[in-house]
Amino acid sequence: MDGWLAVATGPLFAFTFLVMLLGLARHVLLQVWLVATKTATLRRLRWRQAVTDTLGWVVPVRHLVPGTLILSLTSILFHAGVIIVPIFLAGHVALWEELLGVDLPSIGHGLADVLTVLTIGCLAVLFGYRLFIPRSRALSRTSDYLILILIALPFVSGYLAAHPGVNPLPWRSMMLIHVLGAEALLLAVPFTKLAHVVLVFFDRLSLIHWQLRPGAGGRVAEALCGKEARV
């Protein structure tokens, strides 16, 4: 088992991380090329507003829509946990230092536990929303559920590995599940909706974005999904 862990945390981790970086770089290059070829769009685009709006969505408190407060806050907390724990957990920082040679600040295990449990809870809420809310269920595909499960796997296994009292498996076995689950997630990033980690910065570099009006999203959903989306 130690040998498998050494491979998973060494060359396999480096490989999956490289695949993710190359895949995301491809997305960025394609988007840059697409934007660069739309000269008419670039001339008409309101750049200052585009940049301000994009930065405003980093912590979108001002964009909370009445009636979706719980879902919106859940999404914000979920994204915070997904970003902070994988990057700044002390054990993960050691991997980044070994792979990239960068010295990152780290968070303590107490804060990491709180954020991990919070992220798992948010994942459960988001999964339930897609499963039980008719409008969301109408817009959800199988891949949307699988992505949430794939994100949950390293968080759940990591928490269990760090707490032997609730871990049903030997530590090395759970740790291997944790590492492999995280690497599967890295591989999925550039090939699924998770690619929005870089594509989100291009969302507002489009005249289509500026032509949308309040309530347009709901009308689009109704047009796409018919009566079920109107429930």
Mean per-residue pLDDT pooled into runs of 10, the chain (231 residues): 84 92 92 72 63 64 64 86 88 79 82 94 93 87 93 95 93 94 95 87 56 49 51 40
| Residue of 88, 124, 83, 86 lying closest to 105 (CA atoms) | 88
What is the domain partition of the chain in residue ranges?
A: 2-230
Contacts for 39-48 with beta carbons within 8 Å, 24 or more apart?
41/205, 41/206, 41/207, 44/207, 45/205, 45/207, 45/210, 46/210
pTM of the predicted structure, to 2 decimals: 0.78
pLDDT value of residue 202 = 73
pLDDT value of residue 151 = 95
pLDDT value of residue 94 = 80
What residues pair up with 107 in beta bridges, in sequence order? 89
pLDDT value of residue 65 = 60
At residue 89, φ and ψ (nearest 5 deg) are -65, 140
2-230: what CATH class? mainly alpha
Q: Is the dihedral of CA 179, 180, 182, 183 positive or negative?
A: positive
